[in-house]
Structure 1
Amino acid sequence: MPLTPKQRIITTTGLTMAQATKGLAAEMAKLPGTFRVVSLSIATLVMKQVGGMFTFEAVAVVEQCDDTPHAEVVARIEKVQYSSLRVQVLAGGKSNRVKVVATKRWVNDSERAKLADREFLLRREPDNPADRNAIAVFSHERKLGYVPAVEAHQLSPLLDKFATVDGFVVDGATQDDDNEMSFFVDLPELE
């Protein structure tokens, strides 16, 4: 199937499957704008023998979701009442720290310091039109952004098994990089 003008192919390698898919997330983070994963070959990872070691190759087709530069986007507000949710705590175990994406769509620069925290809430958004694997990230009852698409693609089937749970509490961090506050969440390891 030919790619559309908004689609790109990203390929990465690693010594483990997790390294290869983390590489995809890192490459997606370098792309301008917001992208979603259209296709990800995890089940059919290719193993190549290089110098006596096997490496894994991960391939993803990604599609640009938004043509609007971030500077022109006005933050939208979405809140959720924590007290009305049934939550499962996933904090405290083995995890991988990832940067929350698309935050400029949801939080203005002036609001970021007020939302800084070490504990975050993840909520699945299976009806999200941009990505059915979407996992939203909240702090202080306010949406901050999303788990990156590659990690959401891997984690969403696990979270979907908790049918009676509305959200998941995870650890995380807030970091001030070059005068821009960034949010990070610790996702449970899947391996």
Structure 2
Amino acid sequence: MEPAASGSPQPSSPSTSPPPPPQPSRYESQKRRDWNTFLQYLRNHKPPLTLTRCSGAHVLEFLKYLDQFGKTKVHVETCPFFGHPDPPSSCSCPHKQAWGSLDALIGRLRAAYEENGGRPDSNPFAARAVRIYLREVKESQAKARGIPYEKKKRKRKPTVTSVRLDVDLTSSVTGDGSNSDSPATSGAVPSLG
């Protein structure tokens, strides 16, 4: 076998490594982090819980546990700033998780539960108690912070408006291009029927 001459191209072998997997979306990454956080919470629970034994009550415990990491000031009823969106000074009211954050979290965990083999009819994140809790948090935070939560209005697609065609009825054109029966000359009014 002769050695290949220098300067001549060596035959290249096709790349056999598969392309890197696509990066997960921000939503997917957050959902995975939330799911792992919830599983960690279950492992640290006293006594430790398995996912199959998890109920809506455990989800509520988890949401209340998360309040200690919240950044939203929620005024208590005895606070002079209760119901004021922009208080002039600080107060000792607790920080909690904002309703919108909790609502989004539950949505992600609800999806993650089913993606990880949970049955939709036994999804603890879809429990009635969780929905009621979220509604109560929304109402109490709106009252305490003086910030009403309003449903976002959907942008409607523009409707197609009818186009009005103005037709010049003062003359009619015959097939040969000449005017005939022009009201200006004949005194007749063309019929629209």
TM range (shorter): under 0.3
Indicate the structure (1 or 2) with the bigger Cα radius of gyration.
Answer: 2
Instruction: Give the TM-score, by structure 2 length.
Output: 0.22
Return the structure number with greater strand share.
1
Return the structure number with greater helix share.
2
Give the structure, 1 or 2, with the largest relative contact order (CA under 8 Å, sep 6 or more): 1
Instruction: Give the TM-score, by structure 1 length.
Output: 0.22
